[in-house]
Amino acid sequence: MRQLFVFLGLCLPIGVASAQTFGEITGEVKDQSGAVAPNAAVTATNTDTNASRTTRSNEAGIYSFPALVPGPYQVKVEAPGFQQMVRSNIELQVQQTARIDFTLTVGQATQTI
């Protein structure tokens, strides 16, 4: 039994250390008036690997990408009626929470016939 505790005691720090190798990108999406923009599509792309994840802002305009591999990222926000916004050259570090907020501007009205 003592050997089991010693083994678990040695393995636990390894598990904790491996869980601390990620970073997070989070932020808030608003419009020009300062009102929150819920349900905006947000995509984070690792520009080294082209791996991307997509989420949506919640009812408070908040989005989050937890457990991202550190590296260079681009974050894109899209919402109906607004211009697409992109932030590039976001260098995410180990255990970093990068806060990237967006203020959307009204897009031009277009019509397709």
pLDDT tens, position by position, 19-33: 579 999 999 999 999
- Burial of 3-40, coded b for 16+ CB within 10 Å and e otherwise, reads eeeeeeeeeeeeeeeeeeeebbbebbbbbeeeeebeeb
- Tell me the residue type at 25: I
Architecture of domain 22-104: Sandwich (2.60)
Beta strands 71-78; 85-92: pairing state: antiparallel
Average pLDDT, the chain: 87
Residue of higher predicted confidence among 59 and 111: 59
Task: Kindly give, in sequence order, each residue whose CB lies less than 8 Å from that of residue 28, ignoring residues fewer than 6 positions away.
Answer: 36, 57, 60, 61, 62, 63, 101, 102
Q: How far apart are CA 107 and CA 32, in angstroms?
A: 12
Determine contact, residues 44/70, Cβ cutoff 8 Å.
no
Interval 75-101: pLDDT, tens? 999 999 999 999 999 999 999 999 999
Q: Is 94 or 12 the better-scoring residue by pLDDT?
A: 94
Helices (H), the chain: 2-19
Distance CA 81, CA 8 (A): 55
